[in-house]
Amino acid sequence: MTLATLSDVLQPALFGRYAVAGLVTLGWEDMRAFVAAAEAEECPVILQAGPGCRAHTPLPVLGKMFVHLAEAATVPVVAHLDHGQTLDECRQALDCGFTSLMYDGSRKPLTQNIDETARIADLAHAAGMSCEGEIGFVGYQDGDRSSGTDPGEAAKFAEDTGIDAMAISVGNVHLQQRPSGGLDEDRIAAIQALTDVPLVIHGGSGVPAAQRLRLARTTNICKFNIGTELRQAFGDALRAAINADPQRFDRIEILKDTIDPLVAAARAVLRDLKPEPAAAC
């Protein structure tokens, strides 16, 4: 069994100067493809269930899917709740087999965010699991604008919450469909100078691949969340599968054709973040 916590995979990444991909899942096809990609690349992977995924599939079902894949995997697999919204939801995720909770209090005042995130961290740690928090708000390409992370507030947040990983806002944006101008490396350096907690980048699809690779090798950014670019790969593969034979109607036969392209796309993401060949994954 290779079910792992977030700390299990991020602490080695912190000291080994690499990053682990948090791959945003929406269903069985992408989950199995992401684990297959991680096995092919011989590196850990974090399977993430965000609010959209949870609205479509109940947490108890997602937990069993994640755990089933992890138990059969040859690499560490983290079952991660992404953007948890309430204490009850986070508690339910732990009950359903999740090994990592991300509580998102980033829209709330600092004191409230600290208090609520600390409570979730205590819940996770009492169960032997991990917790990620967010300070500074990461916006959306066609929605709310970002609010950059203040380095001093980040240091206080990390210290007062006891989190295992800290998501920061440094020019990253959710749902970015094309690479942006990149992240604010001066702000990253200022945050890193005040805390040694592993750092997380949400909206990693918008970060140019070359910058992802460089930051994974040179900073405390140990986790990049990747969703949009893999959803695009799935969408392209699904359209090709349907158009290849318009007479097909069996959804299983159609969806099978999305697996190999999605594995290839995920492998490309993982390859740029994993340890250099001289280091063990």
- Global pTM reads 0.93
pLDDT score of 42 more than 50: yes
Query: Does residue 35 sit within a domain?
Result: yes
Q: What is the pLDDT of residues 185-208, one digit of tens each?
A: 989 999 999 999 999 998 888 788
Which entry of 8, 30, 82, 104 is annotated as an active-site residue?
A: 82
Query: Does residue 236 sit within a domain?
Result: yes
pLDDT band at 139 (very low <50, low <70, confident <90, very high): low
Query: Does residue 175 sit within a domain?
Result: yes
Query: Does residue 281 sit within a domain?
Result: no
DSSP 169-225: -SS--BT-SS--S---HHHHHHHHTT--SPEEESSGGGS-HHHHHHHHHHSSEEEEE
pLDDT score of 173 more than 70: no
Is there a catalytic annotation at residue 82? yes
Query: Does residue 99 sit within a domain?
Result: yes
Residue 23's CATH number: 3.20.20.70
What is the percent of the chain with per-residue pLDDT over 70, rounded to a whole number?
A: 91
pLDDT score of 281 more than 50: no
State mean pLDDT over 118-133. Answer: 97
Domain tally for the chain?
A: 1
Model pLDDT, residue 108: 92
Query: Does residue 280 sit within a domain?
Result: no
pLDDT score of 172 more than 80: no
Range of the domain at 170: 3-273
State mean pLDDT over 206-216. Answer: 88
Mean pLDDT, the chain, whole residue set: 91
pLDDT band at 146 (very low <50, low <70, confident <90, very high): low
Query: Does residue 249 sit within a domain?
Result: yes
- CA distance to 22, 24, 40, 149, 216, per residue, from 79 (Å): 10, 11, 19, 26, 22
pLDDT score of 169 more than 90: no
Query: Does residue 279 sit within a domain?
Result: no
CA distance 260 to 36: 10
Q: What is the pLDDT of residues 57-93, one digit of tens each?
A: 999 999 999 999 999 999 999 999 999 999 999 999 9
